[in-house]
Structure 1
Amino acid sequence: MKFTAATNQYDTVRRSQSREELTNGQMEKNLLTAIDFVASLPMSQQNNIKKHDDQETFAAMKDQLIQRKKLHYRCRHVTDSMCLIAVFGLVLMIIDTEMRLNEIETIIIVIIRPLIGVSTAILVGLVFYYHSLNMRLYAINNHIADWRVTITISTIAIILFEALVCAIHPFPYKNKGLSIFTLFNKSAWIQMFLTLPMFARLYLVARSVTLHSPLVNAASSRTIGYLNRVPITISFILRALLQTYPAGSWTCVMVITLLIATWALRACEAAMWLPKISVSPQPNDSTSTFSSAVWLTIVTFTTVGYGDVTPRTYCGQGVSTITAFFGVFASAVLIAVFTNKIALNRSEQSVLDFVNQINRARAYREKTVRIIQYSFRAWFLKRNGHRYRATFNSLYRLHSALEDSREIKQEQRNAVNGTESLLTMLSDVHDEQRNNDKSLTKLKNHIVHLEEKINGLENKLDVIVNMLSKNSPST
């Protein structure tokens, strides 16, 4: 009964700590009372109370893990929904733009833009909901009691910027004559800035790929990341994906970029927005077709620039400029990926070097044999007085063999110099390890010598103590 009363009193005090109606004096008094109760208990009952606290701690940790798993799944489902809604809005925007370019007057064109507006509103709401879930997940991962503590100015700025990116869409109204160029169409630039930036919503695809990655879903990888203080972020996942599947992932990025740039260039050059040079109401036939836009995009992306097809609008020139910059970056990454793919590993490089060394040694022996043959033949022909032409041919072959042998010898020296740094490093490591072993052996011998001296001093002290005890006045 005494143990039960103490436990109940202790639990009451712990619950009372989290109540705001208790004052500091009351909390200190209750804590002192609980401590007095616990101190008056036997040791076995105190151990039982400690076990009870440990069980509560483990139960709290279990609840946090379960809550973390639920929040992670919810974030993933919300991101998938955002990705689908964003792609749905992009498809509707492309359909609306194509219908306005081709001047198709149907009831569908009146419905599409309101649908885009509704999907955009849902997408913006999901953005705020996702970030609230993400902040709660961050609070659980970092053992923060209240997730509202994680709200900072940078977090608010990121959320607002993401909401702004997702909120961009063409306004739901019907603009007559949009496909015909008019110099005083002031809404053309507004339509351009509200249509093309919608492709920025594709960043949600990268987030969805990140949340579906095994590095995020596997508990082992997350644990290793936490232990090594490596955050499993979108940047880390995408770089790991490029490192693991460089060809496939980068090919997908390039193809998607080319398709987006091609459609945007076609929409710009089909008199969708204000042209730069010509003020003719006719569209630019050279780049308004899809095939010509594909050709111009590929030529610009590869930084070739034949000049047979050129953009004639401000919008088309801007799209071409962005495509050219991305093409330079993509070419550099593609060269690095290709170089990494064709590079040999250490074992393969060792085998190749060994085979080349054997081939060079064989070729050097063959050239040496030919030098001896041609030297003896030239000496024999010159001594026996044969014709000058035969002697000259023998001397020419002799000098050719000498030149080839010098080249092979130089290649052997270069191959040795190439591996000299590795051999030197290995020899230095071996020498350092040998010196460390010698120092360790000397240290062990010194310790043994000190132990022997200490034992000798101990024996001498024992003898002195015995002699003093025998010669003491008590005896």
Structure 2
Amino acid sequence: MNSFKIMDEKNNLGFRLRHRKELINHRSKVVDTSFILSLVGIICNVVHYELVFGDVIINDGPASTVLRIITTITTCFLVISIIMYNLIGIRLQLVTTGLDNWKLVINSNIIVKTLLEIIICSIHPIPYGNFTMPMLVLNPDTLIYETHQVPINAILSVLMFLRIYIVGRFLVEHSGLFGDTTVQSLGALSKVNINAKFVFKALMSTMPGTVLTCILVTTLIVNSWGLRVCEYYSFENSTVESPAGSYLSALWLIAVTFLTLGYGDIVPYSVCGRFFAITTGMMGVGIMALCVAVLAKQLEQTRSEKYVHTFVQQIHMDKIRRNAAADVVKQSMLIQRLRKLGYKHASTEVIHHRRKLISAIHEMNKSSDEKYRLHDNVVGIVEIAKGVTEVCGMVEIIKNNQDNVNKRLENLETSSTNIQKQLYEIRNVLQTNIRL
């Protein structure tokens, strides 16, 4: 009996909603923790390499080891928070669907997504040791690919920036659309998934400039630093120095590549650096296309502006049509006058006025067509929807009136039938009385 009572309580809608709210709040705290841990790990890693680049600390020295250990500790806690986030997501699906077994909601997509997140968030420099790996590097002097030994920690430090996706998850989790109960309810009723894609589209509709600027700045900073690390360590033990070995040069190269300019004054020579250049170029093309679309949408006239502009153009077309009609009358009268004065039909004066008459008629017809075209362009989706609504309303009114008329006709038929019956009964009674 107690087990059935517990099951009924869990199937209760109020209990499920309350439990779902608690899980959402818990997930929000886990996302905050993941956000802080990921930023701390990235900042420690960047500070470590900047101090090494500036010869402030020695690579693999005590300070370097401490910073790497801090990065490792934050990475371990980050992986735990990622696992907790995905477990809370499974529990949320159980509460939302009303199921009682996690095997019913879990699938291969959730498993692959969780494992991929764990792998991405696990990437960090190794605390101890200075392991290297061979990498192809193009020699700037001979233009021949050579094999250089590059530290594995440098590659892992660049790959650490893959965990920056947690920043987007943090922004989505704390957005008003994602956390609003009303939006979630409307999405459930309309069968719309209120997820990161929905929030991104909403932000692109409300504040496109801010979103694109943040993406642009993040791309420039992250890719520039990654390119600099790749170029620096690719030529660390070489007599040749890479032109993109400094941060300012790498930033210039990334900016030029992002804008698809490609001056060619600074080029990457390592395979890793060229990968960053290709990625930056592809992102630049995509973001520039989004910028053009946003700009075109912002420059588009509103309904009110379109109505005013079209009204002014129609007045201008009416004015041209009136002037053209006046020219038609004027030239016709001049031609008629010249014919009365004895000028022939093929004379120079008559042909001159006839040309003006044809030109005025053409201008009048052209202005009329332009006015009708402007009138057709004013009719948009909103006006069509409004017209369809009005027609549906009129059809509904006509249908109601027809139903009322049919009911009245039925009442009249019933009344006439009753009158006929009464008259028949009266006739029978009168005949009976007469016989008596």
- Of 160, 179, 184 in structure 1, the residue corresponding to residue 115 of structure 2 is 160
Unaligned runs of 5+ in 1: 1-13, 20-55, 384-390
Q: Is the 8 A contact 1:192 1:273 kept in 2?
A: no
Distance 1:64 1:310, change over 3 A: same
Measured against aligned partners, the alpha-carbon deviations of 1:27-80 in whole angstroms (never above 9, x if no partner) come to xxxxxxxxxxxxxxxxxxxxxxxxxxxxx9699544444333322222111101
- Of 174, 188, 202 in structure 2, the residue corresponding to residue 212 of structure 1 is 174
- Of 348, 357, 362 in structure 1, the residue corresponding to residue 314 of structure 2 is 357
Secondary structure class of the residue paired with 2:276: helix
Measured against aligned partners, the alpha-carbon deviations of 1:165-195 in whole angstroms (never above 9, x if no partner) come to 10011212343999xx99655454x445422
Name the counterpart of 1:281: 239
Name the counterpart of 2:374: 415
Distance 1:85 1:443, change over 3 A: same
Secondary structure class of the residue paired with 1:173: coil
- Of 322, 326, 349 in structure 1, the residue corresponding to residue 283 of structure 2 is 326
Name the counterpart of 1:151: 106
Structure-2 separation of matches of 1:93 and 1:424: 59
Unaligned runs of 5+ in 2: 140-145, 342-348
Q: Is the 8 A contact 2:169 2:196 kept in 1?
A: yes
Distance 1:298 1:187, change over 3 A: closer
Residue identity matched to 1:69:
K
Residue identity matched to 2:410:
L
Indicate the RMSD between aligned Cα atoms, in angstroms. 4.4
Q: Is the 8 A contact 1:296 1:310 kept in 2?
A: yes
Name the counterpart of 1:173: 128
Secondary structure class of the residue paired with 1:309: coil
Q: Is the 8 A contact 1:85 1:123 kept in 2?
A: yes
Structure-2 separation of matches of 1:82 and 1:112: 19
Q: Is the 8 A contact 1:135 1:147 kept in 2?
A: yes
Structure-2 separation of matches of 1:107 and 1:196: 22
Q: Is the 8 A contact 2:68 2:125 kept in 1?
A: yes
Name the counterpart of 1:76: 28
Structure-1 separation of matches of 2:386 and 2:14: 51
Structure-2 separation of matches of 1:185 and 1:308: 24
Alignment of 1:99-248 (within 5 A): 99-103=51-55, 104-105=57-58, 107-147=62-102, 149-175=104-130, 185-188=148-151, 190-248=152-210
Once the two structures are TM-superposed, the CA of residue 234 in structure 1 deviates from its matched residue by: 1.9
Q: Is 1:255 aligned to 2:217, yes or no?
A: yes
Structure-2 separation of matches of 1:88 and 1:250: 25
Q: Is the 8 A contact 2:208 2:294 kept in 1?
A: yes
Distance 1:203 1:408, change over 3 A: same
Distance 1:202 1:464, change over 3 A: farther
Structure-1 separation of matches of 2:240 and 2:85: 47
Structure-1 separation of matches of 2:327 and 2:246: 69
Q: Is the 8 A contact 1:274 1:314 kept in 2?
A: no
- Of 279, 298, 303 in structure 1, the residue corresponding to residue 255 of structure 2 is 298
Structure-1 separation of matches of 2:102 and 2:425: 72
Question: What TM-score does the superposition give when structure 2 sets the normalisation length?
Answer: 0.76
Name the counterpart of 1:448: 408
Secondary structure class of the residue paired with 1:216: helix
Work out the percentage of aligned pairs sharing the same amino acid.
23
Question: What TM-score does the superposition give when structure 1 sets the normalisation length?
Answer: 0.70
Distance 1:457 1:157, change over 3 A: farther
Structure-1 separation of matches of 2:418 and 2:334: 90
* Count of residue pairs the alignment pairs up: 403
Once the two structures are TM-superposed, the CA of residue 138 in structure 1 deviates from its matched residue by: 2.5
Structure-1 separation of matches of 2:275 and 2:370: 52
